[in-house]
Structure 1
């Protein structure tokens, strides 16, 4: 494989350029199993093309935003071209570099074979299954190629199935390739708690002006996983300044950062995110309200009831999951217990609450049932106990009269 450049300067004339292009050569050699001769132009960091005869990619011209000029991909060859930027600064220690970021001005497509397309579709299918844990690995096990379509599908499967470490290993393979992998990469790093790497990768993408709504969404997701409200707010502000489209998912994730935070002001900040969401013209969903509810978990009961009123205002109906979450929070289920398994256990806990709270909870449950939502078992048990306690209170009141 040969990278030809217009110009006569040899790579080693510049240490910085030499390091970058030597890394390009290394990647090329690893993929092609051959050698790479790399030259560069002093005025333009790279102006040329990489050729291989392993498959048939049609020619395409890619315009770059910064130091790279343009790359003409010839019709006679399959072409793999990676824009490599190690740490984005010549003085960055190698151990701290997260890898290359592609900056082509438009998406660089590395054409997959039909087998790779099929493999990617299978990984997506298995990764989306509820019981897909362990299955996607079998599908991926025999693949030894480096096509981003397959590797990204494998990373997404790992992310969905909670196999974050395995997804991270794939990330280490794919991080030198194309931009579409970075949204998934940030999510994986966030799940693994590698927050310094998340922030470093984010800063690289910001510096190269490669942030789109998918990458931004992944960065907010990572902030949500760690309860980092400030990071979520910074990303939303960046999107606003850059004119990047925001959707409900971005605000839901920012509110989720509040729900996962221990910040004393998390409820008010979550409300601020919600209000900003409405100002942008977006409509809240049941996911929005379920996340907001978690951020409000230690708020006064009146605020929780106001949340239900707001749901009606925006014509959002509760589902079974929201109903259970609301009952747990409103009736103050002790934390650490996954559910109330016995009616007697529930009765002991909620009998301590004011009767007004029990009636409000019962009214909520009845309204949910009238909307033809099937309650889960926890909510059904709570419903029975609420009715028993309300009937008991009426009986006692009747006896007094």
Structure 2
């Protein structure tokens, strides 16, 4: 991958490799650590009597609420300030939130800082990758975006490895350790962001879509697909360990082993899907992703045995972060002639994903509690949601195909 140079009197050469590393660091801090590291910390918070179990669950929801706020606010902040300034500020804010959470002053204190960590994560998710990919050749954007979002997978893996090691030193020390990691990654990313584009670039971006119709119907369909994909991932993200431990009667240790497989898939997922997109294009790659996810999510409900569960854990784990570069690439692909609209569209897609993921999490939890603990229905609902995403995509593609005369 060659460094890209943005032409313009005020635009210096940009090192794409360094920018990709900055983007990966941002996704690791904002999503990988700020969101997923809380899962193994939750039992320790309850055991240490920082907060009761019922209250601690609301603190997890605070992060999701902040994520939605950050996804909505990220684009507005970038329009008002330089994107590099906002990205640095958000990584510093996430680091500060880790430090603040090391001291359980009160429920309100902790809630505000968990919300703040979510806000920084949402803003980083919306801004980091588009800021970098604007300087990457189209033929290499799949790989670059995959590398950027691999930080999410690393965070999932860290939730099962680094956090338990830090917890041996104590809960306060764990939060401070996460803060130290976050500060180190912020320093790594600090000079990796591109500067503000010069007037020539801004002029070109402003006029790039002149005379081209905005693909509104295709964008609405993509938002719906991404949201449905989010719902389809929820059964594994919430119930996989519980399904193995209690549903199959194998115990927590076995459940943790499958979560490790889930995390290993998450590390490789964005790189593999990005490579596929570079080879086949983002549209076809997205359809392949839907088909693979449908099969993987349905496997635990349809095929008994450890082999099927291993495949399901790895494949679904790969697509938790792996679907992100595909959808981002598809957004940029559809809006090639409307570059000024790309960040706003990605913000809308991220928001739709977060909203339906939250709705599905609460909805499936309610169904599970009132359905006698039926895991099969959860996996089948998830697979059905992904199948509907595929139907929407195929229908949109057929509707937009040139008609024969």
Same fold (TM over 0.5): no
Q: TM-score, normalised by structure 2?
A: 0.22
Q: TM-score, normalised by structure 1?
A: 0.22
Of structures 1 and 2, the one with the larger relative CO (CA 8 A, separation 6+) is: 2
Structure with max Cα Rg: 1
